[in-house]
Amino acid sequence: MNARARARRLVWLRRGVQAASLALFVTLLLAARPPAAGEPSGWLGLYFRIDPLVLIGNWLGGHPLAGLALLALATVVLTVLLGRVFCGWLCPLGALHNALSWLGARRPARRRATDGFSRWQRAKYWLLAALLVMALGGAHWGGVFDPQSLLYRSLVTGLLPALQWAVEASSMGIYQADPHLGPLHLTALSEPLYRFWRDRVFAGQELVFAGGALILFVFVGLLLLNLLRPRFWCRYLCPLGALLGACAGRTALRLVPTGQCGNCQRCLLSCPAAAQPEKPGQWLPEECFGCWNCVASCGEDALDFRWQPLWRRPVAARVDLGRRALVGAGLAGLGALLLFKLPPMARAKTFNPELIRPPGALAEPDFLARCVQCGLCMKACPTGALQPAFDQAGLAGLWTPVLIPRLGYCEHGCALCGQVCPTGAIAPLALTEKQALRIGLATLDTTRCLPYAYGRECIVCEEHCPVPTKAIYFVETEVQLRGGERRVLKQPRVDAALCTGCGICETKCPFADRAAIRVTSANESRHPANQPLLPGALPLGGGNSLGADPYGG
Amino acid sequence: MSPCSRREFLKGLAAGSALALRPLPLLAADEAPRALAIARWQGEALGEANMAAAAGRLTERAMAALGGMGRFVGKGDRIWIKPNIGWNRSPAQAATTHPDVVGMLVRLSLEAGAKSVRVGDHPCQEPRQTYATSGIAAAVAAAGGEMVTLDPARCRRVALGGARLKEWEVFPEILEADLVINVPVLKHHGLSRTTACMKNYMGVVGGNRSAWHQELAACLVDITAFMKPRLCVMDATRVLLRHGPQGGSLEDVAVKGVVAAGADTIALDALGAELLGLVPAEQETVRAGAAAGLGSMDYRALAGAEIAVS
C-alpha cells in the first residue's frame, strides 16, 4: 500500500475519531445532571482534565491540581511525540471547526492565494503569553479562551437552552392547537417525542442563562470565521493550540519529502492548519495538526510522515514568534492583570451583594485563580441557579458561576456543583459539609412583604426555608387594617445564625418582579470580612424550642 | 425456635400456602363497606425496620374496609394518584407521603382493573429530585405504575366556579383521569397548622398558587369542591409535628401508625387535626370546608370502630 492510500485510510479514521470525540464531549455534557443516587461520575470533567492549558493556568496561579489533572501531562507527552494530534484528532471544538470549514470551503483558485501560512498565526502564541502572565498574577482568563471551556460553556448556556426552547415551543404549539384527523392526533407523536427530549436529553429544569446570548454570539462568530479561513480559531487564536504547538517543535512524527513535488499545491488546499506542507523542507511542526490530509491529497507520493528520533534536529522551518511581539504580549497580559486588580472589589475593599458564589467556592482571589469558566457547575445545578457572571465579579470574573436567586436556588439536598468542578474552584464537599456552609444571607424588604406592608397572610418564604429548624420564623403581630379592624399576622423574620443564603425564599416569593425577601452575599462562609455576625453566633431562642409552637413538647 | 410435630408443621404449611395463594378475606362477609376507614397499627412498635411493611398493610386494610378498590376503580379506568411529593425529603423525615402507601394503591388499582396508574405531584422543589428522594418513584415503578413529571407550562386555565376562585390553572393530565386518588401525608403547616387532604389539592394547580396563602381556607374550599373527591387516603404512619410542611429533622417526627381512607376530605382532615393534638373545629380550613358543605367534621360517625392492624 502506498503512502497516499494509507493516508486516506488514516484521514477517515481521523474523521471517525473526531466525531466520536465530539459525541463523547456532548454525552458527558448531557450527563452532567443530578445522579439518581450517590455522587456524580468523575468522568464528567474529562476534557478539562486532559487540557494542559487548564493545568498550567492553575499551576501558575499557585494551585497544584489533583492527581487526575495530570492526565493533561499525557496530552503534552502525546504532543511531544506526535505533534498537535490533539488539535487534529481529539479536540471537540476542533472537530466542529473542521466540519464547518468543510461546509464553508471556497473555490481552490482563491484559496491558493490566501490559505498559505500567515504571520498572523503567531497571534495565538502572543495570546497564550499574555494569558500565562495573567495567570501568574492570579487573574485567570485562560478559561475564556480555552477551547474545551469555550465549547462547554457555549453549549450549556447558549445552544442547549436554544434547542430546549425550540423543542418546548414547537411541541407546546402542537399540544395547544391539537391538530387531528379523526382519531389520529398529532400529539400522539409529538408528546412522546417531547417527553424524550425533556426527560432524557435536557433532564432538568428549563435552562435559562442570563448573558447566554452573548456567549452564543461569540461562539457563532468564531464558527463563522471558518468561512474566512479554514479552522480560523485553531490557526490564529486558540491558546491551547499555541501551548501544544510550543511542545511540538521537535515531534518524532515528521512530514518529510519522499519524492519529486509537482507543485500542484493540493496539499496546501487540503491543509487546515496552513503548516506549509507545500514547501518541501519548510513544513511547520508547531502548526501541523497531524491530520494526514496533505499525504492523502498528494498525487506524486512526494511527502509522508516518518518517525525520526526526537533528538534529531528537524529538517523543517520554525515559526518565528518575534521576540519583541512576545515581550509586547507579555506586557499586555501584565496590563490586563493590573486592570483586573484595580477595582476595590478585587482587593476585598468592597463586596458585591449580588456576587453569591456556589457553596464551597474558594475565597474570591483563589476562586478566580482556579475557575476556568467552563460552565459544568451551571449544567449540573438542578435548579438553574448558577449563571455565567457578566459584571458581578468584575472583568476578571467574566462567565464565572454566580447564583441568581430569582432564577433558581441552592438546593439544600445537593452538593453537585463542587463535586463536578474540574479544577476545585468549588471545593468538592459531602452533603453534610455543604449544608453547614453559608453562601449569603436573606434580607426582608418590609416595604413589600405582604404581612408587613399590605396586611395580608403569606408564609411562602418560611414554608420553603429548607433549614430543618427554620432560618425564617414568625413573629405574630397585631396590625390595624384600613377600616380600623385589627388582625394578628405572622410576620417573617430571618435568623441570621441559621440562614445559609440558599435563596429559595427569594426564588419563591410571590412577588415576581423584585422579591420581598432577597439574598445578598453577606455572611458568606468563605469571606470573614463579609460577615456582619460575630463568628459562631447561636440561633435565636435556640433552635427547636422556638416561638409559640402549637405542637411543642 | 420451639420444636413442632410433623402434624403441626403440615398444618402450618397448609395455612401458610393458603395465605400465600389467596388474599386474606380482609372484609368479613357480613361486614358492610364503611364510608371512612381508620386503620391503626397495633403490632410491635414501628421503626425503620417495619415501617414500610406496616404502611402498605395499613393501606391495604383501610381500602378493604371501604369495600375494596373495586368500588372506586372500574375496568379500564385511567387512575391518577396524587401523593404529597412536595419536598426533597426522605420518607423518614415525614414531609412526603410514605412510598409504600403509594405503592400499595398503585398495586390495588391495577388489580382492580385499571388501565393505567399514573402518579405525580407539582412539587415545591425540583420534581426529579423530590420524586427520587421521597422513595415514591421507586415504589411506583416497582408496583407497575408510571411516574409523571408535570409541566407547569401546560396548565390549562379552567373554570373552578368557586366562591373565591372563579378560574385557575389546573394540570390537564390530572383532569383527564377517570379517578384521582388524593394521598396526602398528615403534617404540621406553618399557616394552616395542619395539612392533609384539602391542602394536598394545591398540587393539582399551577399558576401563582403561592398567592393562595393569603386566603388559604377559601381557596382550598374551592379547589376541593372542584376536584369532587371520591377517594382520599391519608398517610399518618409518621407525622411531622413541627417545622412543617418541609421539616427535615427527625426530632420533629412522631410515629402514629395510622392510615385513613374515605371520600370525605373534611372528616379526614378533622381526624388529622386530632391526631396532631388539635381541635378540628379550631382549624380554619376544616371549619370553612364543613360550612361549605364539603363534608362532616364528625369523622367518628362515619368511621365506626378503628381497624386494628398488626
Mind listing the pLDDT tens digit for each residue in A293-319?
Answer: 999 999 888 999 999 988 888 767 788
Window from B18-27, B69-78, B106-115 with minimum mean pLDDT = B18-27
pLDDT score of B23 more than 50: no
Question: Which residue type sits at A98?
Answer: N
Q: What is the CA radius of gyration of chain A?
A: 28
Q: Residue A11's closest CA among A300, A301, A303, A289?
A: A289
Cα-Cα end-to-end distance for chain A: 88
Nearest to B129 among A168, A382, A550 (CB): A382
Window from A196-200, A287-291, B224-228 with minimum mean pLDDT = A196-200
Record: contact A413-B249, CB cut-off 8 A: no
Q: Which residues of B touch A459 (CB under 8 A)?
A: 190-191, 213
Q: Centre a 10 Å sphere on the Cβ of residue B151 and count the other Cβ atoms it contains.
A: 21
pLDDT score of B9 more than 80: no
Q: Which residues of A touch B189 (CB under 8 A)?
A: 463
A19 in Cβ contact with A94 (< 8 Å): no
Distance (Å) from the alpha carbon of B241 to chain A's nearest alpha carbon: 6
Q: Residue B66's closest CA among B118, B23, B31, B109?
A: B31
| Assigned CATH class of A345-434 | alpha beta
Distance (Å) from the alpha carbon of A151 to chain B's nearest alpha carbon: 27
| Assigned CATH class of A439-545 | alpha beta
Quick: pLDDT tens for A458-485. 999 999 999 999 999 999 999 999 999 9
pTM of the predicted protein model: 0.90
Residue A553 pLDDT class (50, 70, 90 cuts) = very low
* Three-state secondary structure call for residue A474: strand
Grid coordinates in use for A215?
456567549
Distance (Å) from the alpha carbon of A272 to chain B's nearest alpha carbon: 45
Quick: pLDDT tens for A431-463. 999 999 999 999 999 999 999 999 999 999 999
C-alpha dist (Å) from residue A497 to A200, A410, B124? 40, 18, 25
Which helix H or strand E contains A75, and what residues bound it?
helix A71-82
- Which conformational region is residue A263 in: left (phi greater than 0), alpha (psi within -120 to 50 degrees), or beta? left
Q: Residue B287's closest CA among B206, B192, B167?
A: B192
Nearest to B277 among A172, A460, A551 (CB): A551
Q: Which residues of A263-288 are buried (b: 16+ CB within 10 A; e: fewer)?
A: eebbbbbbbbbbbbbbbbeebbbbbb
Q: Where do we find the cell 438546593?
A: A411
Nearest to A411 among B88, B190, B247 (CB): B88
Domains of chain A by residue range: 3-34+41-151+219-307, 345-434, 439-545
Residue A109 pLDDT class (50, 70, 90 cuts) = confident
Q: Which of A262-266, A328-332, B30-34 has the highest mean pLDDT?
A: A328-332
Which helix H or strand E contains A269, and what residues bound it?
helix A266-270
* Three-state secondary structure call for residue B307: strand
Give the pLDDT of residue A200.
87
Record: contact A469-B247, CB cut-off 8 A: no
Q: Which of B89, B125, B146, B176 to mutate to test the interface with A (most CBs of A within 10 A)?
A: B125
Distance CA A259, CA A279 (A): 13
Distance (Å) from the alpha carbon of A544 to chain B's nearest alpha carbon: 8
Contacting B residues, span 40-59, partner chain A, CB-CB under 8 Å: none
Our separate counts of H helices and E strands in chain B read 11, 12
Quick: pLDDT tens for A380-416. 999 999 999 999 999 999 999 999 999 999 999 999 9
Domains of chain B by residue range: 32-305
Nearest to A457 among B128, B188, B214 (CB): B214
C-alpha dist (Å) from residue A499 to A126, A190, A417, A445, A473? 47, 44, 20, 16, 11
Q: Residue B62's closest CA among B305, B255, B295, B278?
A: B305
Give the pLDDT of residue A199.
87
What is the predicted ipTM? Answer: 0.86
Contacts of B213 (CB under 8 A, 6+ apart): A457, A458, A459, A460, A463, B191
pLDDT score of A42 more than 90: no
Distance (Å) from the alpha carbon of B213 to chain A's nearest alpha carbon: 5
Cβ–Cβ contact B154 with A under 8 A: yes
A270 in Cβ contact with A297 (< 8 Å): yes
Distance (Å) from the alpha carbon of B212 to chain A's nearest alpha carbon: 8
Q: Where do we find the cell 487546515?
A: A272
With an 8 Å Cβ cutoff, the interface of chain A facing chain B consists of: 34, 36-37, 168, 172, 175, 198-199, 203-205, 382-383, 411-414, 450, 456-460, 462-470, 474, 490, 504, 508, 510, 512, 544, 549-552
Nearest to B149 among A199, A414, A469 (CB): A199
Give the pLDDT of residue A116.
87
On average, the pLDDT of chain B sits at: 91
On average, the pLDDT of chain A sits at: 90
Q: In chain A, whose CA is at the least distance from the CA of B275?
A: A551
Distance CA A6, CA B249 (A): 67
Q: Domain B32-305, what fold?
A: Rossmann fold (3.40.50)
Q: Could you tell me how far CA A61 lies from the centroid of its own chain?
A: 19
